Amino acid sequence: MKRNTWQREAVRTALGSNEGFVSAQSLHSTLRDTGSPIGLATVYRALADLAVEGEADSLQSLEGESLYRACTPGQHHHHLICRNCGLTVEIEADAVELWAQSVASEHGFTQPNHVVDVFGLCAECTAQVRPGR
Amino acid sequence: MKRNTWQREAVRTALGSNEGFVSAQSLHSTLRDTGSPIGLATVYRALADLAVEGEADSLQSLEGESLYRACTPGQHHHHLICRNCGLTVEIEADAVELWAQSVASEHGFTQPNHVVDVFGLCAECTAQVRPGR
DNA sequence: ACAGTAATGAGATTCGTTATCAATAATACA
DNA sequence: TGTATTATTGATAACGAATCTCATTACTGT
Ligand SMILES: [Mn+2]
Ligand SMILES: [Mn+2]
Ligand SMILES: [Zn+2]
Ligand SMILES: [Zn+2]
């Protein structure tokens, strides 16, 4: 049976208090900095579990690192992510869902999956990069 | 200045004779198996260069590995990839391009980028998995 | 309380990728 | 064509994210 430990809860809380996507390593550092003696392997396991249970979203950074974020459970959605500060907006895209389905079946593909992420500079970071322009 | 070496050409050729996405390691194995004494680091460098120059597409596998594929240069496009055999179809998705643009600007994001990949089982692999069903 | 066992965590290990750096070879030019 | 310049190569070391090992810990149901 699955057991409740303060470690899992600590990871859940730390993830929830974060605006954007974070890596297991940086989340572990954050927890350690706040005095938690949690182990790195436990953070990895907790994040993987949360992702399976639908409580966390995960994606691969452009460098191949796995990143996690507290997620609105239940509904399928995608993300608009600031490349600079990590600010993330959950977006729904019914049109894209349908498109993915149809393009797969048009080519005889079954059991379609898709990866859809939009990256950019958020309004705030845009203002910082081009001040007064 | 950039120099032409048989190593770069060998990587270009090997990549072009492959149907789907391949990793640097497996491409290196293939080249070695055909008698080429090319080094692993050189394969990594050649693939990275080809990707920058637009001659190769790259994506992160679900396990975080970087995969490469000879690419129709010039035009922006996405991929429909068989999870089982790697068969890849290049797809265009003007509607998705426009959607990505608009969803970014609606939230004040600039310089939008996007990652769009569709995975599934190709017709052939579907038939193998469910024979006669 | 106690037994059963899932969960933990320090450290070792795996594996993809990048850095090092001496040797090599492509290119420009005399 | 010969030579100097220097980009490129490749064996190896180094790096880093992620996973594995396994003895220890501590939930949970009874
Ligand atoms: Mn979706
Ligand atoms: Mn696109
Ligand atoms: Zn930002
Ligand atoms: Zn297939």
Task: Determine the pLDDT at residue B129.
Answer: 78
Task: Determine the pLDDT at residue A133.
Answer: 53
| Ligand nearest to C-alpha A84 | 3
Q: Is A132 on the interface with B (CB under 8 A)?
A: no
Tokens of A53: 């249970």
CB contact under 8 Å between A118 and B110, yes or no, is no
Is pLDDT at B11 greater than 90 in this prediction? yes
Cite the beta strand spans of chain A per DSSP E: 22-23, 56-60, 66-70, 78-82, 88-91, 110-121
Number of neighbours of residue B101 by Cβ within 10 angstroms: 15
pLDDT tens digits in sequence order for chain A, 133 residues long: 899 999 999 999 999 999 899 999 999 999 999 999 999 999 999 999 999 999 999 999 888 899 999 988 888 999 999 988 888 999 998 999 999 999 999 999 999 999 999 999 999 999 987 676 5
Give B70-114 pLDDT, tens digit per residue: 988 888 999 999 988 888 999 998 999 999 999 999 999 999 989
Query: Most distant CA pair in chain B: distance in Å?
Result: 59
CB B52 within 8 A of CB A75: no
Task: Determine the pLDDT at residue B3.
Answer: 97
* Nearest CB neighbour to B107, from listed A89, A96, A100: A89
* Confidence label for B133 from pLDDT (cuts 50, 70 and 90): low
Q: Answer whether any strand C atom is within 7 A of the Cβ of B84.
A: no
Q: Is B10 on the interface with A (CB under 8 A)?
A: no
CB contact under 8 Å between A109 and B121, yes or no, is yes
Separation between the CA of A2 and the C1’ of C4 (whole angstroms):
14
B121 SS3 class: strand
Task: Determine the pLDDT at residue B132.
Answer: 59
Q: What is the DSSP letter of B75?
A: S
Residues 6+ apart with CB under 8 A from A132: none
| Ligand nearest to C-alpha A108 | 4
- Report the residue of chain B nearest A113, measured CA to CA: B119
Tokens of B118: 């569709």
Task: Determine the pLDDT at residue B85.
Answer: 83
Helix-, strand-, coil-residue percentages of chain B, each rounded to 5: 40, 25, 35
Taking the model in full, what pTM does it have? 0.89
Q: Answer whether any strand C atom is within 7 A of the Cβ of A42.
A: yes
- Report the residue of chain B nearest A100, measured CA to CA: B118
Q: Is B114 on the interface with A (CB under 8 A)?
A: yes
Tokens of B24: 């640097």
Q: Report percent pLDDT > 90 for chain B.
A: 82
CB A106 within 8 A of CB B93: no
Is pLDDT at B130 greater than 80 in this prediction? no
Give A76-93 pLDDT, tens digit per residue: 999 999 988 888 999 998
Task: Determine the pLDDT at residue A129.
Answer: 78
